[in-house]
Structure 1
Amino acid sequence: MADERDWDGAKERFVAEAREAAVENPTPSEDHSPPGSPLVRQFTTLTRSLLDASTVGEALERVVAAAVAVIPAVDVASVTMRAPDGAFHTPVQTDELALELDQVQYSSGEGPCVDAARMPGPALAYSDDLAVDPHWPVFGPAAAARGMGSLLSTTVLPNVKPPQLSGALNLYSRERHGFTSADRDTALLLATHATLALTATTALTNAELKAAELRKAIDSRDVIGQAKGILMHRRGITADEAFDILRRTSQNLNVKLADLAGTLASRHTEVDLP
């Protein structure tokens, strides 16, 4: 593990070289693209797009989009972030299924993305066959039931200084043994590349991540409050009784509470709960 000075030095060289390349060739085309393989050109393009990102969310969205573009086996992708208090959340994903799969890992406390996002943890964690992987007996079968065959997660470290935010880039494939050894190398390179670029994003602060997480929590709380109000008005029950109905129905239908509440709030003239 490099110490903090090594890390800061690498970051400064990365940013300086990337900005210099962007100035020399601001609009790459087929005739003036960076030398090397298509993968090299894709990573160069990603460098520029990350350095231009004005928010954390924008930068992370570009990372997952790049992962889907450069690794053919990827069907859905996400980024896990681990807050200083140890809580996990998914700020960006390419598909709602990725968010659902991440949530299974968070609630069960097991899975490649949880392992890769922990500090300290492995730089890379993966499963070639989720349905039978003995390392994740809860998450693996749950992911397989949702159509996933394999998963590859690589550590992302947007901030190595206190409070040491950490995370993981999560790549899901519907195929068993979907990722080759070359894919694993590419994922590690992408995660390292993304880490260095994210450390250069001045908007990347713990306060911003907390604010985004808070906005999600407030949105969920608002829609749950609306659903409770609908049930209270219809049935003449208390707020606690309304919430209990929502909770039990969510468990029975295996649907997230916020999603169930959102459906009831937006379609209250059509939908009622048991």
Structure 2
Amino acid sequence: MTSEQDWQRDKETFVAGETRPGPLAGEFARLTGRLLSAPSVEDVLERVLEATTLMVPSAEIASFTLIDADGQFHTPAETGKVAIELDLLQYRFREGPCVESAEPAGPAVAIAPDLTDEPRWPRWAPAAAELGVRAVVSTALIPGAPMGRSIGALNVYSRSPNGLDEADRDVLLLLATHASLALAATDAVTRAELQAAHLRTAIDSRDVIGQAKGIIMARRGVSADEAFDVLRRTSQDLNVKLAELARTLAERHAEIDLPG
């Protein structure tokens, strides 16, 4: 079994530009083989996320952002509930690393070593820190010709300040490149198929969250942002996914109410 010391040595070798193969090179070779045999976009994304958590141990939370045909952001693959909440907040605020790096006109890579001291995202950074995240790296997915522009981003979060070092960032750039090329080579990479294959659940979640927000707004006379905050806080307090909580409220609104 590969030890943490082996990974660190291989990362240092990688950054130094040496060619000696090591466990990291072996994992990339295995990932390439798995992506070449991936039958769908879903499989590509899931396999890259598995490789991300293996190759970057400090990547405690990871997700993919994709942009659909109408320019909306969605999270079709992630490693857990917190990843969805981190991404949804960025889509709502229209700020944050995955939104910034995924935008076709954006910088392609967004890095923040410590979100408690991050002025670029005044709304999202404090909310992410409240969720226990301190460092983030997001890098664009650019499949190349014929598309040649970003279709989304790979997002990796760490709970430790400065938790993602330079070597981790280099590995993540390679992982995003692998994902981009695999997406370009997968038959399901057209915009319409991406929406049909990946975004159905996200769209359903968005609709039910909208219904739940409308119920809270009507009951309490609050704004849409305030209603979303009630949902988000209650989701965290109850340790229930935001979409599940919204669905329960929408289906049983005559029976239940959320805490104040």
User: What TM bracket, shorter-length normalisation?
Assistant: 0.7 to 0.9
Aligned to 1:50: 35
Tell me whether 1:179 sits opposite 2:164 in the alignment: yes
Using the alignment, how far apart are the partners of 1:95 and 1:180 within structure 2?
Answer: 22
Tell me whether 1:139 sits opposite 2:124 in the alignment: yes
Residues 170-207 of structure 1 show CA distances to partners (whole Å, capped at 9, x for unaligned) of 00000000111111111111111221122111222211
1:220 deviates by 5.9
Q: Secondary structure in 2 aligned to 1:254?
A: helix
1:224 deviates by 7.9
The sequence identity of aligned pairs, in percent, is 42
1:263 deviates by 2.8
Q: Match for 1:263: what amino acid? A: T
1:155 deviates by 1.1
Using the alignment, how far apart are the partners of 1:147 and 1:112 within structure 2?
Answer: 16
Larger radius of gyration, structure 1 or 2?
Answer: 1
Q: Match for 1:76: what amino acid? A: I
Q: Secondary structure in 1 aligned to 2:111?
A: strand
Aligned to 1:108: 93
Change in Cα spacing, 1:202 to 1:38, as seen in structure 2 (3 Å) is same
Using the alignment, how far apart are the partners of 1:48 and 1:81 within structure 2?
Answer: 23
Aligned to 1:194: 179
Change in Cα spacing, 1:64 to 1:243, as seen in structure 2 (3 Å) is same
Q: Secondary structure in 2 aligned to 1:126?
A: strand
Change in Cα spacing, 1:70 to 1:253, as seen in structure 2 (3 Å) is same
Change in Cα spacing, 1:253 to 1:99, as seen in structure 2 (3 Å) is closer
Whether the 8 Å CA contact 2:208–2:246 is kept in 1: the answer is: no
Using the alignment, how far apart are the partners of 1:71 and 1:218 within structure 2?
Answer: 32
Give the TM-score normalised by the residue count of structure 2. Answer: 0.75
Aligned to 2:111: 126
Using the alignment, how far apart are the partners of 1:124 and 1:70 within structure 2?
Answer: 19
Residues 16-64 of structure 1 show CA distances to partners (whole Å, capped at 9, x for unaligned) of xxxxxxxxxxxxxxxxxxx821111101111111111111111101111
Change in Cα spacing, 1:194 to 1:220, as seen in structure 2 (3 Å) is closer
Whether the 8 Å CA contact 2:98–2:153 is kept in 1: the answer is: yes
Change in Cα spacing, 1:163 to 1:36, as seen in structure 2 (3 Å) is closer
Aligned to 1:156: 141
Q: What runs of 5+ residues in structure 1 fail to find an aligned partner?
A: 1-34, 229-239
TM alignment of 1:1-274, pairs within 5 A: 36-158=21-143, 160-162=145-147, 164=149, 166-211=151-196, 212-218=198-204, 221=207, 244-245=218-219, 251-254=229-232, 258-264=243-249, 272-273=256-257
Using the alignment, how far apart are the partners of 1:241 and 1:75 within structure 2?
Answer: 35
Q: Match for 1:217: what amino acid? A: I
Whether the 8 Å CA contact 2:115–2:128 is kept in 1: the answer is: yes
- Range with greater deviation from structure 2 (78-87 or 253-262): 253-262
Q: Secondary structure in 2 aligned to 1:198?
A: helix
Q: Match for 1:252: what amino acid? A: V
Whether the 8 Å CA contact 1:56–1:204 is kept in 2: the answer is: yes
Whether the 8 Å CA contact 2:65–2:74 is kept in 1: the answer is: yes
Whether the 8 Å CA contact 2:76–2:202 is kept in 1: the answer is: no
Using the alignment, how far apart are the partners of 1:219 and 1:170 within structure 2?
Answer: 20
Count of paired positions = 227
Q: Match for 1:126: what amino acid? A: I
1:158 deviates by 3.5
Give the TM-score normalised by the residue count of structure 1. Answer: 0.72
Q: Match for 1:254: what amino acid? A: R
Q: What runs of 5+ residues in structure 2 fail to find an aligned partner?
A: 1-19, 236-241
Q: Secondary structure in 2 aligned to 1:136?
A: coil
- Pairwise CA RMSD of aligned residues? 3.1
- Range with greater deviation from structure 2 (194-203 or 170-179): 194-203
1:92 deviates by 0.4
